[in-house]
Amino acid sequence: MRALPEWLTDNRDTAALAAMLSPASSRSLETLAAESRAITLRRFGRTMALYAPLYLSNYCSSGCIYCGFASDRQTPRHRLEPDEIRRELAAMKKIGISDILLLTGERTVAADFDYLQRSVAIAAEEMPRVSVEAFPMSVSEYRALADCGCTGITIYQETYNSERYEALHRWGPKKDFIDRIETPERALDGGIKSVGLGILLGLSDPVEDTLSLYRHVRHLGRTWWRAGLSVSFPRMRPQTGGYEPPFPVDDHLLARIIFAFRIALPDTELVLSTRESATFRDGMAGLGITRMSVESKTTVGGYSVSDSKNSREKRDEGQFEISDNRTAREFCAALRNQNIEPVFKNWEPSYNGPSARINYEREVDRSASTITPETETCH
């Protein structure tokens, strides 16, 4: 393996964060929560940005031990064709979603770069903000995606402990620890505007991983100071394969991680997905988290299926189980009960690049007919 990047072992900046994460910290959870809440209010106001994932394909060439899509699982495989993608987008728009994250597994013949690029172009015709969580790519591939309207990527390192990483990633391209850790830099070099980083809590020592994640954000922030950076702390959920996390993280520690990160990185977007329970998500809203997924489906074709009740949902298994199953309408009501305004659209397509501007002009032409009554009431 190539040498680890120098920033990964640089401890100069981490003392304050490490102190907040320690169970022996002099600051109680309540003290951290109050500080985190005040910073969140000052920097982000009483708002919550909302997005939803769209699984394009569950084909995968990697063998991550913790994932329901690993290539040795017996899960039925499928990829969405253009008309199916459009159906999914229509179902998502009906919910009110206008910020989407397109997902695939590692690069395969069935779901390769060309497939992903075509899918981004279709999505960018319908949605003002399109991000991608897929396989690591080259700078020129990221540039091509950006030209099609992709503005963000999400690429979790899962764990920054290289030995644990080696054991968890049994085969496939994702086994390359260094290639993955360098991916955000290639994406930003290729013109992608925002990058989401994360660790999968449960795989390795959570405090060590949190400190490494912090180093990664700081490294990118120093070098690509105009980039939008976001951070997620997903916890392992039950999945096909039944992998049990050896380092489980309880609510108390996850809350401490979120508050400490908000205090250490006041301007970084912190994300919490529907992996977490409704109770935990409601508790974290306004206290540090500024972006949440809503009404997520982790199956390929999950949105139009639940719309039409056809049979694919029964055939396909999701990547993992969702915990917060509330509808967007129910979730927005819960946010408003806390005096937090849900934000579905915070991004103009005209910001997305040349191709996306053309799509935007098309969208403006037909905008009056695309807003449904359901969308209006959700906003």
Min dist CB 313 to ligand SF4, Å, is 19
Q: Is 76 exposed, middle or buried (0-12, 13-18, 19+ CB in 10 A)?
A: exposed
Shorter beta-carbon distance to ligand SF4: residue 64 or 332: 64
Among 106, 125, 126, 209, which residue sits at the site for ligand SF4 (rule: CB under 6 A)? 106
Number of residues that bind ligand SF4 (CB under 6 A): 9
Among 17, 33, 64, 231, which residue sits at the site for ligand SF4 (rule: CB under 6 A)? 64
Cα torsion at 312, 121, 50, 68 (round to 10°)? 40
Q: Which stretch binds ligand SF4 (CB under 6 A): 36-44, 58-66, 300-308, 332-340?
A: 58-66
Shorter beta-carbon distance to ligand SF4: residue 67 or 120: 67
Among 53, 96, 105, 136, which residue sits at the site for ligand SF4 (rule: CB under 6 A)? 105
Cα torsion at 186, 187, 192, 197 (round to 10°)? -130
Q: Which stretch binds ligand SF4 (CB under 6 A): 61-69, 181-189, 337-345, 360-368?
A: 61-69
Is 60 a binder of ligand SF4 (CB under 6 A)? yes
7 φ/ψ angles, rounded to the nearest 5 degrees: -60, -25
Is 313 a binder of ligand SF4 (CB under 6 A)? no
d(CA 123, CA 85): 8
Among 174, 175, 180, 297, which residue sits at the site for ligand SF4 (rule: CB under 6 A)? 174
Shorter beta-carbon distance to ligand SF4: residue 66 or 261: 66
DSSP track, 184-253? HHHHHHTT--EEEEEB-BTSS-HHHHHHHHHHHHHHHHHHSTTSEEEEE-PBP---TT-PPPSS---HHH
- What is the longest distance spanned by two Cα atoms in the chain? 59
Q: Which stretch binds ligand SF4 (CB under 6 A): 15-23, 48-56, 62-70, 276-284?
A: 62-70
- Tell me which residues in 245-304 interact with ligand SF4 (CB under 6 A): none
Min dist CB 223 to ligand SF4, Å, is 26
Among 49, 54, 67, 255, which residue sits at the site for ligand SF4 (rule: CB under 6 A)? 67
Q: Which stretch binds ligand SF4 (CB under 6 A): 56-64, 116-124, 245-253, 341-349?
A: 56-64
Is 134 a binder of ligand SF4 (CB under 6 A)? no
Alpha-carbon distance values, 66 to 52, 79, 141, 215 (Å) = 22, 21, 28, 25
First to last CA, the chain: 49
Name the DSSP class of 293.
Answer: E
Q: Supply 300's token pair.
A: 């390929």
Contact 109, 60 (CB under 8 A): no
Shorter beta-carbon distance to ligand SF4: residue 193 or 235: 235
Is 318 a binder of ligand SF4 (CB under 6 A)? no
Q: What 3-state class would DSSP assign to 29? A: helix
Shorter beta-carbon distance to ligand SF4: residue 75 or 98: 75
Shorter beta-carbon distance to ligand SF4: residue 236 or 263: 236
d(CA 209, CA 325): 28
Contact 63, 171 (CB under 8 A): yes
Min dist CB 192 to ligand SF4, Å, is 19
DSSP track, 32-48? HHHHHHHHHHHHH-SEE
Shorter beta-carbon distance to ligand SF4: residue 60 or 145: 60
Name the DSSP class of 346.
Answer: -
Shorter beta-carbon distance to ligand SF4: residue 39 or 60: 60
Among 44, 51, 55, 69, which residue sits at the site for ligand SF4 (rule: CB under 6 A)? 69
Amino acid at 100: I
Min dist CB 376 to ligand SF4, Å, is 36
- Binding positions for ligand SF4, rule: CB under 6 A: 60, 62, 64, 67, 69-70, 105-106, 174
